[in-house]
Amino acid sequence: MRNINAMLWMALLLSAPIQAQDLRLNAQDYFEARGAEVLVFANTPGGLFNDAKTGGIELVHHGERTATNGDVRLNRTPEQWDAIAELVERKVDAAHQRIETRMRYPQFDFDYRIEVQGGGDGVTVRVLLDKPLPKALQGRAGFNLEFVPVAYFGKSYLVDGKTGLFPRHPSALMDADADGATEPRAIASGKRIVLAPEDPLRRVTVQARGETMLQLYDGRNKAQNGWYVLRSPLPAGRTGKVIEWQVNANTVPDWLRAPVIAHSQVGYHPAQDKIAVIELDRNDTPQRSARLVKIEADGSEKTVFEGPATAWGRWLRYNYLRFDFSQVREPGLYRVDYGAQRGDPFRIDADVYADVWHSTLDVYLPVQMDHVRVREGYRTWHGASHLDDALQAPPNYEHFDLYAMGAQTDTKSAPFEHIPGLNVGGWLDAGDFDIRTQTQYHLVGMLVQTWERFRPQRDTTTVSQQARYVELHRPDGKPDLLQQIEHGTRYLLAQYRTVGHAIHGIVEAHLYQYPHLGDALSKTDGLVYDKSLDPHAAQRHPGRMFVPITQSPSPEQLVTRREGERSGEFDDRWAFTTRASALDYGSAAALAAASRALRGYDDALADEALRTAQKVWDEEQSRPPYTFKFGNTTGGPLADEEFKAAVELLQATKQDKYARRVAALLPEVGTRFFGDNVAIAVRALPMMDAGYKAKLRELAQAYVVGLRKSQQENPFGVIVTRAGWAGNAAVVTQAIANDYLRRAFPDLLDRADVYRGLDYLFGTHPGGDHSFVSAVGAKSQLVAYGMNRADFSYIAGGVVPGVLVLPPDLPENRTNWPFFWGQNEYVVDLGGSYLYLANAVQELLAKE
């Protein structure tokens, strides 16, 4: 949206009619009143990775999404991978203030409709059946609406007049069926429930009509990421209207969402542009100016600059102003104020970026290291994990988390046979515990770029590969960055040593292991699975915990659960091994790059890495590629991965055959996802001819045209994606691409095109003003989706995905609920990219 004149915008706002409190359909096809919105299947049910809690009927209450997943479900408190219906059709009837959806569970041949009718200060929700409930779903199916627990911690409820307090920690009794499956019992039931009657901002009343009853459950009894669930079972043998609820959300008259002053929580270099973006409720009247306040050592404050709050316009659901205080260059401690709203303190100083990357290298990356014990002071983050890696995954099999096997294993191992030698190196991919190869080689490549350009000698961590031991805040005389490169290189090489080619990765075998929280060591027993050993036998093993038995063992069984380093426990992770040439090229690129970085640090490892990369290249070039593709575990586009391998090998060897391939591939990779390939393309420049440079400049000019257009689409001047995973990776990738292009063609881009991406990460973003880098900045993401998320905690230096734009217009990043993976799950390769960008911005501005 282009900027509009400030006075014109203010006049439009002042002349707009005051909204009534009635919930009515708006132009975005959801029910809206001032202080409440009800979304009806605005998003696809389930979302990315099954139930993402971003679908069905949802309530946005006084600016915060507090309820979701209003739909028919087959469990009292569904978990992530439980069945969810498919959306068949969604019809909006604005004339009658109604939205109707047709839904289907194909596995049960079960169809139903959900109708939501607006009226007054609430909506009526009806579940309609054209045929009676299938017998298989009787006693199982019910209409659920889930409320996020953090919105109701410390608050009460009333059910038919009976009082209760929402539990801070789950404690409901559980029911178990004959197969041992459990579900929580209701903590309350009745016809009418009032949530948070004492809090006008969170008060919701639900009245069940007819024979329908309401049941309140605490989903956290099943899983830590569960929500409070309000549920009505579907009756058997009935058709037509089988469920009817009246849902009323209390609204505060004339409520306004407080302005958000989005700025860098870290601060600014004196020479850079300094622009705060002020996010306003659409009903708010903008003020004309904002103030920059300087804070002195004695606590005194002084307004040192007051300037216009310039209207940018409307984007998504909010209006935006921009406050430019670039002219202030004096070092010091500052705050931006807008009206009565006070921002957080930040610095202006030449060294403001000097240490922002330290916690990523010092803490986050070491904590994510697999196959080693990681200690920090009195704390052990995790033991030496997954020493039993890995069993061969079976062919023709589709797993969870986007892993799958093709018709061939492409190894010498039989299904479920142990593949030796994979229990070395690698980083735990994200908030879960797999080690996805594509992530690994992306991270190795970015760490090498950081090393080759900036050569950071920082040493605060002890790493012993031989002892499988890592200790934070204890230097060992070796650059930490090189030790991280070594760790990733060892994992990539292990695949070639034992399998002969790159694999998709290693992932949890069983769904019950996938959501494992806490110490990675406790997810498996660390012993290689041996099917000849009895998993039910009991045995005390020297130095290992006692494993309880599930049945009384015979005398023979007492000695056959574990023998040496093997056990009958079928808990080992699986290796997914169907060959994909994209993975081989991507791994070869990382190994070639690592060979340069490791030269002089570990020459033997550097030699092996380069030999392996060259061998992979020659083999791939000698035959048609393996094109197996599934999810995001089998490599990027083949040409892109080959291009990266060619450039890295060219840098490592200076051989003409790689230069010829680089030149041949540039037109293809430059017309598709050019931004993703800019960095590698520019790094080839010193070894290529004038024709290559001319073609690259041509592609860069086209890229800049698109960049300038995208920078005008929102008030933050960066790309804001709208996929099921938030877009900080895209922001960082774009900023890095701009850094490389600016150095290659300084006339095409400005320095702001580089550091603007870092400003976004540090707080200049929609939906809030916190830093997306945990423990970096005055206010940062301190509740995140890491391995310690059940403790509502964080890992210093981790970078979360960021703002997820929920259809049609809600930018969301929850700072109080860690279980939204699409917003808050750390991913290691984004950490590596951030590490590079922070160093690049520091170098860029240090020249000023």
Residue 532 belongs to a domain: no
CATH of residue 319: 2.60.40.10
* pLDDT in the model for residue 681: 97
Residues 303 and 378 in one domain: no
Q: Which long-range contacts (CB under 8 A, 24 or more apart) does 691-697 make?
A: 691/663, 692/662, 692/663, 692/666, 695/666, 695/667, 695/670, 696/666, 696/670, 696/744, 697/745
* pLDDT in the model for residue 537: 63
Residue 161 belongs to a domain: yes
CB atoms within 10 A of CB 105: 20
CA angle at residue 740 from 737 to 742, to 5 degrees?
105
Cis peptide before 286 (omega within 30 of 0): no
Q: Tell me if residue 9 falls in helix, strand or coil.
A: helix
Average pLDDT score over residue span 543-560: 40
Average pLDDT score over residue span 440-448: 98
pLDDT reading at 233 higher than 70: yes
CATH of residue 160: 2.70.98
Question: How far is the first Cα of the chain from the last one, in angstroms, to the nearest whole number?
Answer: 33
Domain boundary among 293, 316, 348: 348
Phi/psi-derived region of residue 655, left when phi > 0, alpha when psi is between -120 and 50, beta in every other case: beta
φ/ψ (deg, to 5) at 265: -75, -15
pLDDT reading at 615 higher than 80: yes
* pLDDT in the model for residue 50: 87
From CA 358, how far away is CA 379, in angstroms rounded?
19
Residues 310 and 367 in one domain: no
Residue 787 belongs to a domain: yes
Pair 441, 586: CB distance under 8 Å: yes
From CA 674, how far away is CA 103, in angstroms rounded?
40
The type of residue at 458 is: R
**Model pLDDT for residues 16-36, shown as the tens digit of each residue:** 333 447 999 999 999 999 999
User: pLDDT tier at 152 (50, 70, 90 boundaries)?
Assistant: very high
Q: What DSSP character marks residue 420?
A: T
Residues 370 and 413 in one domain: yes
Q: Tell me if residue 790 falls in helix, strand or coil.
A: helix
Residues 90 and 231 in one domain: yes
Residues 140 and 245 in one domain: yes
Domain boundary among 191, 216, 249: 249
From CA 814, how far away is CA 270, in angstroms rounded?
31
**Model pLDDT for residues 775-796, shown as the tens digit of each residue:** 999 999 999 999 999 999 999 9
Residue 511 belongs to a domain: no
Query: What's the mean pLDDT when you consider all of the chain?
Result: 93
CA angle at residue 831 from 825 to 833, to 5 degrees?
130
Residues 280 and 422 in one domain: no
From CA 31, how far away is CA 25, in angstroms rounded?
4
Residues 317 and 389 in one domain: no
pLDDT reading at 554 higher than 80: no
Residue 548 belongs to a domain: no
Domain boundary among 303, 322, 348: 348
Residues 479 and 392 in one domain: yes
φ/ψ (deg, to 5) at 365: -65, -45
Residue 531 belongs to a domain: no
pLDDT reading at 562 higher than 70: no
Residue 5 belongs to a domain: no
Could you give the count of Cα atoms lying within 13 Å of 192 in the half-sphere of its Cβ? Answer: 7
Residue 516 belongs to a domain: no
From CA 122, how far away is CA 249, in angstroms rounded?
6
For the residues of 241-271, what is the DSSP string, one character each?
A: EEEEEEEEE---TT--PPPEEE--SSEE-TT
For the residues of 146-173, what is the DSSP string, one character each?
A: EE-GGGTTT-EEEETTEEEE--SS----
Average pLDDT score over residue span 480-489: 98
Residues 376 and 456 in one domain: yes
Average pLDDT score over residue span 616-637: 96
Residues 242 and 325 in one domain: no
β pairing state of 98-105 and 110-119:
antiparallel
CATH of residue 795: 1.50.10.10
**Model pLDDT for residues 313-345, shown as the tens digit of each residue:** 999 999 999 999 999 999 999 999 999 999 999
From CA 832, how far away is CA 828, in angstroms rounded?
7
Residues 143 and 268 in one domain: no
Number of domains in the chain: 3
Residues 743 and 805 in one domain: yes
Spacing of C-alpha 827 from chain mean position? 7
From CA 579, how far away is CA 567, in angstroms rounded?
29
Pair 728, 772: CB distance under 8 Å: yes
Q: Tell me if residue 384 falls in helix, strand or coil.
A: coil
pLDDT reading at 593 higher than 90: yes
Identify the domain containing residue 457 by its residue range. Answer: 358-506+576-846
